[in-house]
Amino acid sequence: MTPRRKTHQVNVGGVLIGGDAPVSIQSMTSTYTYEIDKTVAQIRTMAEAGCDLVRVAVPQKRDTDALRSIIDQSPVPIIADVHYHFERALESLDAGVHKIRLNPGNIKDRKQVDRVIAACRDRGVPIRVGVNEGSVVERTDKDRRAAQQSAIRENPHDRLVQLMVDTLEDYLRIFEENDFRDVVLSLKSIDATIVIDAYRAASRRFDLPLHLGLTHAGPPETGTIRSIASLGALLADGVGDTIRISYAADPIYEVEHARELLCSLRLRDRVEPELIACPTCGRIEIDLIKLVADVRQKLVGIKTPVKVAIMGCVVNGPGEAEGADVAIFAGKGRGIIYVQGEQTRTVMEADMLDALYDECLKFAARVERGEATLTGRSVHIVPPD
Ligand code: SF4
């Protein structure tokens, strides 16, 4: 892991982005913002799952009218997502929003952008300035558009990355001329390789905090891989200050996957159990996949980061259990449970779920009472060749 690149720090309603602040998780509601109760309910669910910041769309006046009530009830800072209508940004600021997401490219009147920047400065509210792969090609100037498209056809990847970073630089000039520094940057694409290279280039060129995201990833079933591949590569490089995974699904998946990504890269401490399981093979003699699914569900209630390992046999040796706080090694119709490397009991297959859960509960309680400490070590489960 490369150490985090230090960026200018901004404060979003008490959540710091950039500098030495931990990488924060953000997501976006899928409700109509003017439906206050539904929006607040979704924000609360996202916050409980570990979301630090929530963005809401404000396409209409009735959305910004709802913002004050939403902000009052929200457990986390709220970001207003503004496109085309600068008035929505001003109304959101009046409602007390903590950050504005703005694309100066779709607010054509420079004076309107200046007004939003001035209002943000007055209130100490940062702005995210984003470019998306789909919106960087010139739309109005036909000659310029043709030249850009021709360049992209020649070398699609490099030209697109360059165009995204150059467009962002053009936008940033507006903020520099307004002497406004509290800016977070994003450069999104549906292509993981463009995301990686665009953010790497931006990281070299700007010292502002970066909001990482791969846009329009699709459903979690397919979007997870490209999202984690790109965001994981950047975070491992020390690039990125806040992340948003975006799926065509309930935003709770975005938050859960973002949290798992940060925990896996040790950029965030776990607060819940970590479950490790073998992939199964021809040696398996129990229904391990069902056991893993059942244990995963049961562990949800435990709020201690106990490391739990479920292994289909003892091929890799009980020594593997030393890295887990609680582990089970299954055999023919039965399993041996270990707690921090000590064998505690042998149970029949029908009792594995309850027994393993019981050991997890007891161990978590001992940790809470200060009678035991978590191993804090990785468990290496090596399947046979
Ligand atoms: S050999 Fe490995 S993968 Fe196969 S059942 Fe045993 S622990 Fe699981």
Q: pLDDT confidence of 316, banded at 50, 70, 90?
A: low
The DSSP H or E segment spanning 348 is strand 342-348
**Predicted local confidence at residue 106, as pLDDT:** 82
**Whose CA is closest to 356, among 275, 281, 264?**
275
- The Å distance, Cα 291 to ligand 1 centre, comes to 14
Lowest mean pLDDT among 66-70, 287-291, 299-303: 299-303
Ligand 1: centre distance to CA 289 (Å): 12
CA distance 83 to 239: 27
Give residue ranges with CB within 6 A of ligand 1: 278-281, 283-284, 311-313, 315-316, 383-384
Average pLDDT over residues 353-372: 95
Residue 384 has pLDDT above 70, yes or no: no
Nearest residue to 306 via CA among 374, 378, 379, 381: 374
Least confident of 73-87, 145-159, 318-332, 346-360: 318-332
**Ligand 1 atom closest to Cα of residue 311:** 7
pLDDT at 380 over 80: no
Q: Which run of H or E residues covers position 16?
A: strand 15-17
- Probe residue for ligand 1, chosen from 280, 287, 291, 382 as the CB with the greatest number of ligand atoms within 8 Å: 280
Provide the phi-psi class of 317: left if phi over 0, else alpha when psi is between -120 and 50, else beta.
Answer: left
Expressed in angstroms and rounded, the spacing between residue 381 Cα and the centre of ligand 1 is 8
Percentages helix, strand, coil for the chain, rounded to the nearest 5?
A: 45, 20, 35
> What's the gap in Å between 336 CA and the centre of ligand 1?
14
- Pocket probe for ligand 1: among 310, 311, 379, the residue whose CB has the most ligand atoms within 8 Å is 311
Looking at the CA of residue 279, tell me the nearest atom of ligand 1. 3
Q: Which residues of 124-154 are buried (b: 16+ CB within 10 A; e: fewer)?
A: ebbbbbbbbbeebebeeeeeeeeebeeebee
Residue closest to 305 by CA, chosen among 337, 346, 342, 264: 264
Nearest CA, atom 2, ligand 1: 383
283 versus 318: the higher-pLDDT residue is: 283
Q: Domains for the chain: give ranges and CATH numbers.
A: 10-264 (3.20.20.20), 274-368 (3.30.413.10)
Between 149 and 37, whose confidence is greater? 37
Give pLDDT, residue 318.
Answer: 59
Distance 353 CA to ligand 1 centre (A): 18
CA distances for 331 relative to 193, 286, 327, angstroms: 44, 7, 13
Indicate which residue's Cα is closest to atom 6 of ligand 1. Answer: 313
Instruction: Report residue 356 as tokens.
Output: 């393993």
Residue whose Cα lies nearest atom 5 of ligand 1: it is 312
d(CA 103, CA 118): 16
> Which of 284, 379, 382 has most ligand 1 atoms within 8 Å of CB, for mutation?
284
12-21, 37-46, 306-315, 349-358: least confident range: 306-315
Sequence letter at residue 241: D
pLDDT (tens digit per residue) in 365-375: 999 999 999 87
Record the tokens describing residue 49, joined without a space: 């799952």
DSSP-assigned states of every residue in 231-256: HHHHHHTT--SEEEE--SS-HHHHHH
Weakest-pLDDT range from 85-99, 135-149, 202-216, 301-315: 135-149
* 385, pLDDT greater than 50: no
- Can you give the pLDDT at residue 151? 82
Give the tens place of pLDDT for each residue, 117-174. Answer: 999 999 999 999 999 888 788 777 888 888 888 888 888 899 999 999 999 999 999 9
Q: What angle do CA 273, 213, 12 make, to 5 degrees?
A: 80
